[in-house]
Amino acid sequence: MPALACCVDSAVTPPGCALAWDGSLSASAAVPVSLIFGAPPPPSEVDGGSHWSPSHSSSLYKVDGWGAPYFVVNSSGNISVRPHGRSTMSHQEIDLLKIVKKVSDPKSSGGLGLQLPLIVRLPDVLKNRLESLQSAFEFAIQTQGYEAHYQGVYPVKCNQDRFVVEDIVRFGSSFRFGLEAGSKPELLLAMSCLCKGNPEALLVCNGFKDAEYISLALLSRKMALNTVIVLEQEEELDLVIDISKKLSVRPVVGVRAKLRTKHTGHFGSTSGEKGKFGLNTFQILRVVKKLEEAGMLDCFQLLHFHIGSQIPSTSLLTDGVSEAAQIYCELVRLGANMQVIDIGGGLGIDYDGSKSAESDISVSYSLEEYSTAVVQSIRYVCDRRNVKHPVLCSESGRAIVSHHSVLIFEAVSASVPAAPAVNQLGLQYLVEALTEDAGADYRNLTDAAMRGEFENCLFYADQLKQRCVEQFKDGSLGIEQLAAVDGLCELVSKEIGSSDPIRTYHVNLSLFTSIPDFWGIGQLFPIVPIHRLEERPGVRGILSDLTCDSDGKIDKFIGGDSSLPLHELEGGGRGRYLLGMFLGGAYEEALGGVHNLFGGPSVVRVSQSDGPHSFAVTRATPGPSCGDVLRVMQHEPELMFETLKHRAEEYCGSGNGSGVDTDDDDHGMATNNNHDHNMNNNSALASSLARSFHNMPYLVVPSSCSLTANGGGFYYCNEEEYNAVVDSNSASEDEQWSYCCA
């Protein structure tokens, strides 16, 4: 008889059977382990044996696919960065775990005392991406006999961080790399940065424009910047003509053309004839006529278009570029002084390592294949039309910045499936309270268990549970009895192998702040443990963030998986476990909000060096404090602090603290002692309040202290360790607010 029947039929216990389930199945009730426990893949899928190595983890998480050539699993089982791509030598690789240790260790231990979550910026990777893009186009130009050059621009909307933009201008100066702006603040940013760039670098002005935007763009030409105003709407041309005459500036004008070519899916929704931006052919002809009438047709020098982000294949790219090249040649025929064709964005990256044209998060081409398709298509059309080859420009933001940034965060706890608590007394108590229909379900469940009919077991268990829930709602069943039926049904599911093996890992992160594209458009990013990859992951899990929002979870992963292979948390579910989100350097920081008032992560800039650990932290910035995010929502933390301090002094700092009568001789001494005690207590309360305003909103997880779940919150080993970590993250004494009464 199946062991399941032994524990289900507790009212009349069969001879020789235990009264409580012992966790085992008899041979007749055996279920394959692979059906009971979800993947990680069995050994046969990876290596055909029980041995596990870092290379197996690399295959499991597809690191060799999406990570190449910048990320690898090293021999220690940690993720390493190859900052110079394929040119990186072994001693130049940077271990991400060592970066986290340096950054998060307390200052007293030689660390920087920063709190996670953490963004690690890698300027060497950014430089390599720029150089690789430039080299790919230069190679295509040379091999195709193209008679003009390539000079790209970086669309700052992808990541407007000052140091990212300044790095791109500096790294790209030798090959005239420029910037693209889509708003007035982005234009101001680009103008300032390009003052230190190559004078031939393009400043492409996209987006909707008013008189102030156009005036700024024209002023930048007066400042000897190579600025091009790209018309998104026909009406913008009137402003350009009028303001340029008032400022006595000869503008350089381009138009954004709406192509017929578009690709399907989310990233293609801004392309095609119905796209949000650009002019159709009829409007372009009116622009030509109006410029000619104003004596400014020579100012028309650039054609811009955008097929859509994440162009999946070179065949689609070729179609779009060829169509645009025909428009370019027609503009030359009409007398425009055409010089540049700007192919826009669309150069995609492979988020899942599949190299597939069928996925929104992958592409089927390399940088070299992309560049060759562009150069070949434009050369072919221009040669047929006997038109001089134009300067080539692209706005490849995602492809430039995605790889250079890694988001690192920590799993602070995980749900652990509890063993069902089923005993004879509890079940007898339950059976006595069941209605006639529920009692029939229980007896049918027992009979099905005796016969080993697993499908029927599940059916009757579910039906029994539903009836008991209704009884509980009616008040005819107690909570102890409801718990007993819950335990019984969980036991049935576990024995049969239908219970959910997926665990929930609670991570010290806000999804809405740090990975908003996952929530907003379902964008998937590679998420991988950055250490312990020499170990076989033993469970699968989803990730749940800190926010009080049911959408604050990650339950879709690259490869189409609804869970992620993960390791058991060390120390009984309370150890430190670090994960990294990769390829998120574009858009995520700019789009992130302050849901639940969780601000952005701490940020460090890490460069490769010849030191013992192969890296140097060249800049470190703590994440926004509680006070910072409160200010974003128009609160005034300093006034809040004073209000709370006075309240704490009123309710928490009064009383003589002794509760004992004193004689007259001792009264004065006791009064002084109590006064000193209250002053010290008030000072400690004020310090605690101020520290809360100055610290980040995220959980403080000391690396030296095990973290224990306690209900819905978390507590630390002891107060000294907590304060040591908090103090290392706090502002210096002269930056703290005054504790004195206002």
Active site residues: 548
Cα–Cα nearest to 344, from 282, 290, 435, 278: 278
The Cα 267–Cα 586 span in angstroms is: 14
Beta strands 340-342 and 118-121: pairing type? unpaired
Cα–Cα nearest to 603, from 114, 148, 216: 114
The Cα 221–Cα 229 span in angstroms is: 10
Strands (E), 214-324: 226-231, 253-256, 300-304
Strands (E), 215-349: 226-231, 253-256, 300-304, 340-342
The Cα 216–Cα 232 span in angstroms is: 17
Identify the helix (H) or strand (E) that includes residue 130. helix 123-144
3-class secondary-structure state, position 741:
coil
The Cα 433–Cα 143 span in angstroms is: 85
Please, what is the end-to-end C-alpha distance for the chain in angstroms?
Answer: 79
Q: Which residue has the tokens 């005993």?
A: 423
Residues 6+ apart with CB under 8 A from 248: none
Across the strands, what pairs with 154? 179
And the tokens for 720? 């000294």
The Cα 7–Cα 423 span in angstroms is: 8
Q: Which residue has the tokens 């298509």?
A: 377
The Cα 387–Cα 148 span in angstroms is: 12
